[in-house]
Amino acid sequence: MDEAPPITDADMARAIHRVGLQPAPSKKIKINIALDPDVVSWFKHQSGERGYQTLINATLREAMQRRTLEDTLRRIIRERVADGRSSNQLIKQ
């Protein structure tokens, strides 16, 4: 016989869902956004069976990650230049 009380919807709403010890990613947020018709058409054409909204989300995520990488590289280069190293010394490393 199970002595644990039943889990209710209220319990689930208060729960913190985790993967390993880290909080699990939250659900996606629904928004309304106005995009040019040719942009939507292009994403619909490119998406195939994935769904164009999924492709738009993946494209935005990639842009975020690329931006972070660019910022990191720029910061490192600025630090190295401030240390007096030439751009040729940076490339050879």
> How many domains does the structure of the chain reveal?
1
| Residue 23 resides in a domain | no
Return the pLDDT at 90: 56
pLDDT, mean of each 10-residue run, the chain (93 residues): 81 77 78 95 90 91 87 88 70 59
Backbone φ/ψ region at 5: left (φ over 0), alpha (ψ -120 to 50), beta? beta
Structure-token match 């989300």, residue found: 57
Tokens of residue 58, six digits: 């993946």
Tell me, what's the pLDDT at 45? 94
pLDDT score at 82: 87
Q: How far apart are CA 90 and CA 81, in angstroms?
A: 9
Let me know if residue 49 belongs to a domain: yes
In a domain, 62, yes or no: yes
Domain range enclosing 79? 31-92
Judge whether 14 lies within some domain: no
